[in-house]
Amino acid sequence: MTKTIIFAVISTIACCSLAFAADQSATSEQHCGNVEEAQTLVTLIKADPQQQRSELRCNALLTQLALEKAKVMAEHGLVMQNLNGSPNSHLRNGGYQLPDYYGGMMSNQVEAIAGGYHSAEEVWRAFKQSTAHRQHLLGELTFYREQDEIGVGFFRDKNAPHVQYWVVYVSKGHRANQKTEFTSDQIPNKSMFESVLKTDK
């Protein structure tokens, strides 16, 4: 009888532990992306053989802000980086602490956007075909390589022009006393090229 009770208790603890681990894993995925499509894109970015970063942590705030931006693009029917302010400003206004040396107005060292792509695999192929986005998302430049946090938002609106809207934020997490060794010409700015991806409709 005692052995049966002990076995039952151990089995219950094991089941609870597995359920907790599964719940933690699901929560971690949600921190990376708001829905399955966004989470799949995060996995593709992190696992790409050409990924230059050793670490890319999920950040729930980046995911929230990415979803907000995707909804704004759908609402306006546009795929545009400087929509209601620059990408860097959007993060700062949303409470995410960017390093001081990241630009402000009309600056983008953090965002990749796309519209009209049906799957994470499709949009990831398109991102990699864009030099500016590939360098950012895969950390090909020294400046981008130090970025260590990611969040992705995906929003679908069948009444919006592009239907599917994707927003990826990859940025450097805030650290106390951050300093930069980059000169101004070493800090890329994707907003200068308005690097957006849209499928032809």
Architecture in CATH of 33-198: 3-Layer(aba) Sandwich (3.40)
Mean pLDDT, the chain cut into blocks of 10 residues (201 residues total): 50 45 50 96 98 96 98 97 93 94 90 98 98 97 96 98 98 71 73 57 49
The C-alpha atoms of residue 136 and residue 50 are separated, in whole angstroms, by 12
Asked if 113 and 167 count as a contact pair (C-beta separation under 8 A), the reply is yes
What pLDDT, on a 0 to 100 scale, did the predictor assign at position 114? 98
Q: Is the pTM above the cut of 0.85?
A: no
Instruction: Sketch the domain layout of the chain as residue ranges.
Output: 33-198
